[in-house]
Amino acid sequence: MDRITKDKLVSDYKKIFFNKFKTYPDIISIAPGRVNIIGEHTDYNFGLAIPTAINKWIITMISDRNDNQFNIHSVNYDKMISFSFNDLTKSDELWEKYIKSTIYIVNKKYKLNNGFDMLIGGNIPIGFGMSSSAALEVSIVSAILDKYCDKYDQYEILKICNVVEKEILGIQSGILDQYASIFSKNKKFLLIDFNSNTHEYFDSNIKNCSWVLVNSMISRDLVSSDYNIRVLECNEGLDLINKLKNEKTSFNKLSLDDIELVKKNKKLYCRLLHFYYENKRVRSMKKEISNGNKYNVGQLLLESHFSLSKRYEVSCREIDTIISMSKKHPGFYGGRIMGGGFGGCTINLVENNLKKDFISYIKNEFYKKFEYNIKVEEVFFSEGLDVLTDL
């Protein structure tokens, strides 16, 4: 696994920054990717989730300019783009669009006085459900706000990122990824309530186990997936219930009796059932992780996977096969598809002394069936957003 440390990444990027811009950065913002233990497709309906940040990051470095020019160097694409305020809405490639849109939205609200030199790079795999784009937004927004705005809080970063996603990129997403990137604490699990936008931390008492990511290598991007359709279907289901009950209820107040009202529409019924039970699983998961009951944690993960695959229909053949294969391994307690879905990774709880064997078993079995190599690695948790100003 790519175990480069945060400090090493920062020091490597500082050197690249100097090579490209012949000056040192004034500010460095480091935003991690995340895994989501449970609570999938609940955030945009004001539900619950338990994500946590991982030891892979997107880093933004900025140094001030005294003109209206923006020079942005992407380490990952090894490319420099230069533009002025007038060009913030024109972009040729998706990564460029993310960067310009984010600067555009911050500028719209905070009216920047000048441009800057900026370096962006990181080691979060792109398009596999570990939130590389959310981390990119968080690192850019926090770097600019920290450098140019006197007062802001972390919820402001969340708000700006969500505007970028919804208004510019056209993804009706929730704030799970950005929330985890900002608020995670190392070695803690984060339980977020998206109805109140509040969170709590809790400890894991699971012993002798690791969290392992199995990457199907099926890349997905939310814009072109059915993600937005799922958001619409849930709203349609809620509207129908409100109409039939002739009153206005909200997602977080839905009861099973309410959901039964839309039973005739199988699709909407299944979408809402997923939401209802997934939130219940989040609460149970907190209890089971805190109590260290790895068997029950595994069962909750598998129930969540079944629901995401059959009721919410956001899985795919490769991922369902990975879960079926994993179930046959003695070291596997449970796992599920993670993130937006339609590909990406499964997150799995695996017994430590069988971990190595599990990893090679899954790789081999998968290759036998699909004839391409997948990546399987243990995941390590990390601290949330870090902004360095004392450089």
Q: Which of residues 39-58 bind ligand GLA (CB under 6 A)?
A: 40-41, 43-44
340 binds ligand GLA (CB under 6 A): yes
339 binds ligand GLA (CB under 6 A): yes
Go through 73-108 and write b for each residue having 16 or more CB atoms within 10 A of its CB, e for each that does not. Answer: bbbeeeeebebeeeebeebeeebbbbbbbbbbbbee
Residue 193 CB burial class (10 angstroms; 0-12, 13-18, ≥19)? middle
The residue sitting closest to ligand GLA, measured at its beta carbon, is 340
Residue 197 CA to residue 175 CA, distance in Å, equals 9
Decide the pairing of beta strands 69-74 and 116-122.
parallel
Query: Binding string to ligand GLA for residues 237 to 266, with x set by CB under 6 A, is what?
Result: ------------------------------
Minimum CB distance to ligand GLA, residue 219 (Å): 14
Please identify, among the stretches 19-27, 36-44, 289-297, 318-326, the one whose residues bind ligand GLA according to the rule CB under 6 A: 36-44
Phi, psi angles (nearest 5°) of residue 139: -70, -40
E runs forming strands in 99-256? 116-122, 189-193, 198-202, 209-215
E strand or H helix at 9, and its extent? Answer: helix 6-21
Minimum CB distance to ligand GLA, residue 251 (Å): 13
Residue closer to ligand GLA by CB (options 143, 171) is 171
Residue closer to ligand GLA by CB (options 176, 301) is 176
Query: Binding string to ligand GLA for residues 167 to 206, with x set by CB under 6 A, is what?
Result: ------xx-xx-----------------------------
Write out the two tokens for 273: 């059932």
Query: What does DSSP assign to residue 312?
Result: S
Minimum CB distance to ligand GLA, residue 175 (Å): 6
Residue closer to ligand GLA by CB (options 28, 338) is 338
* Number of residues lying near ligand GLA (CB under 6 A): 10
The distance of Cα 357 from the centroid of its chain, to the nearest Å, equals 28
Decide the pairing of beta strands 69-74 and 48-64.
unpaired
Catalytic residues: 177
Minimum CB distance to ligand GLA, residue 45 (Å): 9
Write out the two tokens for 97: 């669009």
Minimum CB distance to ligand GLA, residue 179 (Å): 9
Footprint of ligand GLA on this chain (CB under 6 A)?
40-41, 43-44, 173-174, 176-177, 339-340
